[in-house]
């Protein structure tokens, strides 16, 4: 929540929309968790295509947001991001101190 989606950041870096802040569900407030994951992955794929996969060096993720209150991504989201990275030849790296890596 430090910056608005699409706000200025370091040149050459794109901050993707955080699909799971607190009470927001990408598929709508009545969406199931599975529908929300699917909607969030569609949003990420759309951003990858808009940027051009050949222009993206990596996707960097923090699977457990500790500073935000120990927020954990829903089941299937990280696997979906991994599949998108594989599909488009994008390196994925995960910064996770919370789980001991």
Q: Domain range spanning residue 91?
A: 1-101
Q: Where are the beta strands (DSSP E) in 4-101?
A: 58-61, 64-65, 71-72, 91-94
More confident residue, 1 or 43: 43
Would you state the torsion angle of the CA atoms of residues 9, 67, 5, 87, taken in this order, to the nearest 10 degrees? 90
pTM for the predicted model, two decimal places: 0.75
What's the number of domains the chain is made of?
Answer: 1
Q: Which of 3-7, 44-48, 96-100 has the lowest mean pLDDT?
A: 3-7
Looking up residue 55, the CATH number of its domain turns out to be 3.40.640.10
75: alpha, beta or left? (left if phi > 0; alpha if psi -120 to 50): beta
Confidence of residue 2 (pLDDT cuts 50, 70, 90): very low
DSSP 1-14: --S-TT---STT--
Higher-pLDDT residue of 31, 83: 83
Apex CA 77: angle with CA 40 and CA 65, to 5°?
Answer: 95
């Amino acid at each position: 929540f430090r910056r608005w989606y699409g706000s200025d950041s370091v040149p050459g870096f794109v901050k993707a929309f955080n699909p799971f802040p607190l009470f927001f569900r990408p598929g709508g407030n009545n969406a199931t968790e599975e529908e929300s994951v699917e909607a969030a992955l569609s949003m990420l794929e759309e951003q990858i295509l808009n940027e051009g996969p050949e222009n993206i060096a990596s996707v960097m993720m923090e699977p457990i947001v500790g500073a935000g209150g120990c927020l954990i991504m829903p089941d299937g989201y990280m696997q979906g991001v991994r599949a998108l990275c594989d599909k488009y030849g994008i390196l994925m790296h995960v910064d996770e101190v919370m789980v001991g890596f």
